[in-house]
Amino acid sequence: MTNRRGLLIILSSPSGAGKSTLARRLMQWDAGLRFSISATTRKPRPGEEHGREYFFLSEEAFKREVGNGGMLEHAHVFGNFYGSPAGPVKETIDAGNDVLFDVDWQGEQQIRNSDLGKHALSIFILPPSIKELHRRLVTRAQDSEEVITRRMNKSWDEISHWGAYDYVLINDDLDATEAQLKTIITAERMRREQQPMLQDHVRTLQTEFEEMS
């Protein structure tokens, strides 16, 4: 048995708040951190491999997994199903490694209510202002004006669920927010339920105490 059980680290935010950059920095910080590989019913794109970018499933197989409780969370997006398979996540956290999830508030709630929910750590990233959120979306030059407008319209619905998360950080300074994330994760790894060896250790202490009495 490992000295600790891994965490399900959930990062959520509206587009442009810095979540993806922070996730990349966390992966660089800890080589043992694993990014959750989603399952999808969409067809693989050129260069994509099953089990690397996604687990590619038929719609029938996907729905069967959902019915059997095999998905920690799932959603229907643009005509396809997406979800987080529970099996690989459980294997990873049982081996003592954390799994990083990039999901919205609905995904966070599904993971929280799953069998592995007690090992979940959810963190919401807020922008310093709506004006700054819009500026970041424009300056990263990844989306058309139409897409930016759609992302901005969706942002308040996402922000409105901030109160459901364990931690909420205002990302007005990327380096400072990164440091806060590392502090939170380091502390949460030491939660009692994340250390399965503690019960055996206490039993050993009890035996030693009784032998001395």
In this predicted structure, what is the pLDDT of residue 179? 98
In this predicted structure, what is the pLDDT of residue 17? 92
At residue 131, what is the residue type?
K
Q: How far apart are CA 32 and CA 164, in angstroms?
A: 27
Q: How far apart are CA 101 and CA 103, in angstroms?
A: 6
pTM value is 0.86
At residue 134, what is the residue type?
H
| Contacts of residue 10, Cβ cutoff 8 Å, sequence gap at least 6 | 101, 103, 107, 108, 111, 120, 121, 122, 123, 165
Identify the bridge partners of residue 85 per DSSP, sorted by sequence position. Answer: 71
Q: Which domains does the chain have, with CATH numbers?
A: 8-212 (3.40.50.300)
Taking the chain (213 residues) in runs of 10, the rounded mean pLDDT of each run is 87 91 95 93 92 94 95 90 95 95 93 95 96 88 82 90 97 97 97 92 95 89
CA pseudo-torsion sign 152, 154, 158, 160? positive
Would you say 69 and 24 are in contact if contact means Cβ atoms under 8 Å apart?
no
In this predicted structure, what is the pLDDT of residue 136? 87
Give the number of other Cβ atoms within 10 Å of residue 194's Cβ: 20
